[in-house]
Structure 1
Amino acid sequence: MDRQDDASPGPTAHSLDGQVRAAKTAIAARLRHIRQHHPEGPFTLARLAERAGVSKRTLASAESSDGTNLTIETLVKVAHSLGIQRWAYFLDERVFGEVNAELETLKVLRRGRVEKVALRTSTPGGLPPASLAELTSLITGIVASAQVARDTLHELPVEDN
């Protein structure tokens, strides 16, 4: 007999609670990661809060072990303030990985003083993740080689003709 007044949650409630905790933990970890590894960072909680137009307390709570129930609006504001157009960054492991790879490429390009890169894709929906990773690796290698070549040229003695 199913009792409605039973105070103990059923197995579905436990697994749902676990999923909620896992989601909060993932969001907290991703928020900490982007604050520390963004090409324009690292960001303090206060600086990111100001940039995103949310309270520092909200961000601090989101990064805590308990987490907080962030609104979709807050997640979108934080992502947008960091130049991340794919708000699923905080919710989807694949998007998290892809965006981080793109941001890492951006860091390398900035360190190499690259000002412009022209890319065009004709694949509907963009490049597959494996191709994007390969392209990212290729561009990173090219930029690193160019930086080594530039540094080597600066070290060579100047000869008078």
Structure 2
Amino acid sequence: MLLEEALREVGDFGRFQWLLIVYLCVFVAPLRVLPLFGHIFSLLVPPHRCRLDPWLQEALRGLRNATADDADLLLDLALPREPDGTFSQCHMYDANSTLALWFDVAGGSTRVVNASAITTGVRAVVPCQFGWEYDFSYFYPSVVSEVRTLPW
């Protein structure tokens, strides 16, 4: 007796077998795979940079309506650049209150008056002191951005 004949004698593929396949494919398989791939989505590190000193952060918010060059100039004053040209994700320049003298905040606008005097000197690079600012334009908030455990 062949296997097919034996299966026909026992019973064809019936409703119970279909329900079992649906149950396994829809309910069991995703729940078994979720723990394997869940850490990929929950521990995703979005693009980030050091959060600036509070008064520099306010100046940066004021520059959001200005040109991108002005905002980049302000970030250049506070954050070192990596060799690839992006801002450092874990280091910042040591904040100095004399930087405030180089901003013109009169008339409700914030703009850099003379940045060349600041960028010519040698400044100390320190780890992020005020936490991190995350860019959620491509990614959603994750455990890393909520707990703020950077850098590892």
Query: Structures share a fold, TM > 0.5?
Result: no
Query: Which structure's residues are more often helix, by fraction?
Result: 1
Higher strand share: 2
TM-score (norm 1): 0.30
